[in-house]
């Protein structure tokens, strides 16, 4: 009996390799994928006919990238806690998104449809600011934090924050045209920009929370990123609830359904991964132990 149990445990060991690992999408590949897809969806998000569902997928991908960058930079210890770098990302994102939307809309008014590419100027400038902040934080003559890859991480975070805020704005307003976002009332007399505090903290949470809660000696990238996708799902549900009120049930409901599916699937996957990889689980009965 005892032999069988040990045998069973030995056989179980390879199972620790959770099937949803991000081995192929390493940090660089995931970043390139998220950047390309995020930028394409962001440019296309100018059109109100692009379904909120697609924008929701874009937001989730961008948040996943941001969480990966937070993990990359914050695992060496920042001295001020992981949340600071996630909040930095969305703080830069607010400035970058406002500038990007303003430039994009102004160029659109001047030269027509091709002008929506003007939003890339805002994103590009934000990348430069992120990189320079990274140099300031890491440089010998400045703060000298000595974190490997902080420059690249901060640049990625600034871009991810900008893309996330622009996409979230465009979900609620239907488009990221500055006139719509800032002035067109969507809910009573309230323009979409009024929800920016919510977008700020939701995008910020998606980026900072995964590492903040998973951090530790046996933190694993695949498991941490599962939580980033899960928070992306919660983000979609909340944005969907607002979209039902602003743009109507068709756009909002699809987003809520997407968010709910992603949330349930990845929450399950995350808890499963935690249960499998932990040494021992003693349940309190609060969370139903999945599959055992």
Partner 1 sequence: MEPITLVIILVCIIIGGMFGSLGVHLLPVGGAPAAMSTATGIATGCVMLMTGSAMTGLFTASTVANFWGTNPDVFLVSLSGGVGAMLMMGFTMLIGNLIYIFGAGIVPVSGRVAVDPITKEPQTEYKTPRTDGHGVPNVAFYSGMIGGLVGGFGGALIYVVLVSQGYAGFSVETAVIVALGIFIANAIMAAYNIGGTIEGFHDPKFKERIVTGLTCAFIVSLMCGILVLIAIETGALAAGGMV
**Site for partner 1, rule CB under 8 A:** 78-81, 83-85, 87-88, 91-96, 98-99, 101-103, 105-107, 109, 122, 125-126, 128-129, 132-133, 136-137, 142-143, 145, 178-179, 182-183, 191, 193-194, 196
Q: Which is nearer to partner 1, 33 or 194 (CB)?
A: 194
Q: Which is nearer to partner 1, 193 or 229 (CB)?
A: 193
Q: Which is nearer to partner 1, 125 or 241 (CB)?
A: 125
CA distance 15 to 10: 10
Alpha helices in the chain (DSSP H): 2-12, 27-44, 52-74, 83-111, 119-138, 150-173, 178-183, 196-214, 221-246, 249-277
Q: What are the b/e assignments for 176-195, b being 16+ CB within 10 Å?
A: bbbebbbeeebeeeebbbeb
State both tokens at 136: 């300031």
Q: Which is nearer to partner 1, 53 or 101 (CB)?
A: 101
The SS3 assignment for 221 reads helix
- Cα angle vertex 60, ends 96, 192, to 5°? 50
Give least dist CB 12 to partner 1, A.
36
CA torsion angle 223 224 226 230 (round to 10): 140
CA distance 156 to 63: 11
Give least dist CB 79 to partner 1, A.
4
Neighbours of 229 (CB within 10 A): 23
Q: Which is nearer to partner 1, 101 or 262 (CB)?
A: 101
Neighbours of 281 (CB within 10 A): 10
Kindly calculate the radius of gyration of the chain based on its CA atoms and give it in whole angstroms. 21
C-alpha 88 chain-centroid distance: 14
Give least dist CB 82 to partner 1, A.
10
13 CB contacts (<8 Å, ≥6 apart)? none
Give least dist CB 250 to partner 1, A.
27
Asked if 58 contacts 166 with a C-beta cutoff of 8 angstroms, the reply is: no
Give least dist CB 222 to partner 1, A.
28
Give least dist CB 103 to partner 1, A.
6
Give least dist CB 16 to partner 1, A.
31
Q: Which is nearer to partner 1, 151 or 230 (CB)?
A: 151
Q: Which is nearer to partner 1, 166 or 229 (CB)?
A: 166
Give least dist CB 78 to partner 1, A.
7
> Which residues pair with residue 187 across a beta bridge?
190
Q: Which is nearer to partner 1, 145 or 237 (CB)?
A: 145
């Amino acid at each position: 009996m005892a032999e069988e149990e040990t045998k069973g445990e030995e056989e179980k060991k390879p199972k620790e390799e959770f099937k949803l690992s991000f081995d192929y999408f390493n940090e660089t590949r995931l970043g390139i994928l998220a950047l390309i897809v995020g930028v394409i969806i962001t440019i296309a998000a100018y059109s109100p006919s692009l379904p909120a569902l697609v924008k929701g997928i874009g937001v989730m991908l961008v948040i996943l990238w941001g969480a990966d960058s937070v993990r990359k930079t914050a695992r060496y210890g920042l001295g001020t806690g992981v949340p600071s770098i996630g909040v930095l990302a969305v703080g830069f994102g607010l400035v970058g998104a406002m500038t990007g939307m303003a430039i994009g809309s102004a160029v659109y008014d001047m030269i027509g449809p091709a002008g929506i590419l003007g939003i890339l100027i805002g994103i590009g400038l934000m990348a430069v600011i992120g990189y320079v902040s990274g140099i300031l934080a890491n440089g010998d003559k400045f703060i000298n934090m000595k974190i490997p890859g902080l420059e690249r991480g901060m640049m990625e975070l600034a871009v991810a924050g900008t893309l996330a805020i622009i996409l979230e704005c465009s979900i609620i307003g239907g488009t990221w045209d500055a006139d719509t976002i800032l002035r067109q009332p969507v809910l009573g007399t309230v323009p979409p920009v009024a929800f920016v505090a919510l977008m700020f903290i939701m995008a910020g949470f998606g980026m900072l929370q995964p590492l903040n809660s998973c951090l530790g000696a046996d933190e694993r990238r695949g498991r941490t990123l599962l939580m980033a996708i899960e928070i992306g799902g919660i983000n979609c549900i909340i944005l969907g609830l607002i979209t039902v009120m602003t743009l109507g049930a068709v756009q909002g409901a699809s987003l809520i359904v997407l968010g709910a599916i992603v949330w349930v699937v990845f929450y399950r996957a995350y808890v499963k991964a935690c249960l499998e990889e932990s040494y021992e689980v003693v349940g309190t009965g609060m969370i139903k132990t999945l599959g055992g």
